[in-house]
Amino acid sequence: MDHIDHQIIEHLKQNGRMTMKELGENVHLTGQAAATRVARLEEQGIIQGYTIHTDPARLGSPVHVFLTIITQSLHHQPYLSFIETEPQYVVANYKISGKGCYLLECRFPSNTELDDFLVKLNQYVNYQLSIVVSK
C-alpha cells in the first residue's frame, strides 16, 4: 500500500457512494485507475465492505450503554448464549483483558427496557454499567 491507497481508503470512509471518477479526481488519478486500485484493495481484503452510518437515537434507541461484564466462572457460554437472544439491544460484545471479561455495548428504546435486560443479564453474570452521556 502506498500513500494513494491510504488516501483512497480515507475518501471511501467519508463517502463510500462516490463514483470512481470522483474518487480519482480526489487522489489525482483517472476514474479507471482509481477503480483498479479499489478492486485490488478489495481482493487483498483491505476493503471488506461498504456500509452506512445511522443515528440510533432517531431510529428509536436513544439509551446507549456500555457494560463491563464480570463472569463468576471460566464457563462463559451461558452468557454468550444469552446475548445472542437479544440482538435488538446488543451492538457489540468484545472479549477484553483487564477489569472484566467482556465489554458489552447496547442500545435501548427506554430505561425500562434497559432495566428488564439487566435483570435477565444478572442471572448469568455481574456487570458494571456506564451510560453514554454524549459522544
Is residue 8 a part of any domain in this protein?
Answer: yes
Rg, C-alpha atoms of the chain: 21
Q: Which helix (H) or strand (E) holds 79?
A: helix 77-84
Is residue 124 a part of any domain in this protein?
Answer: yes
pLDDT for 135 beyond 90 = no
pLDDT at residue number 37: 98
**Domain identity same for 30 and 72:** no
pLDDT for 73 beyond 90 = no
**How buried is residue 51: exposed, middle or buried, by Cβ count under 10 Å (0-12/13-18/19+)?**
exposed
pLDDT at residue number 129: 98
Domain that holds residue 101: 63-131
What is the C-alpha separation between 21 and 10, in angstroms, rounded?
A: 16
Is residue 52 a part of any domain in this protein?
Answer: no
Is residue 54 a part of any domain in this protein?
Answer: no
Is residue 30 a part of any domain in this protein?
Answer: yes
**Per-position b or e across 56-86, b if 16+ CB within 10 A of its CB:** eeeeebebbbbbbbebeeeeeeebeebbeee
Is residue 79 a part of any domain in this protein?
Answer: yes
Beta strands in the chain (DSSP E): 63-70, 90-95, 102-108, 126-131
Is residue 35 a part of any domain in this protein?
Answer: yes
CA 63 to chain CA mean position, Å? 16
Is residue 91 a part of any domain in this protein?
Answer: yes
What is the C-alpha separation between 104 and 83, in angstroms, rounded?
A: 9
Q: Is 47 left (phi over 0), alpha (psi -120 to 50) or beta?
A: beta
Q: How many domains does the chain have?
A: 2
What is the C-alpha separation between 59 and 91, in angstroms, rounded?
A: 14
What confidence tens digit (pLDDT) does each residue in 2-40 have?
Answer: 999 999 999 999 999 999 999 999 999 999 999 999 999
What is the rounded average pLDDT of the residues 97-126? 96
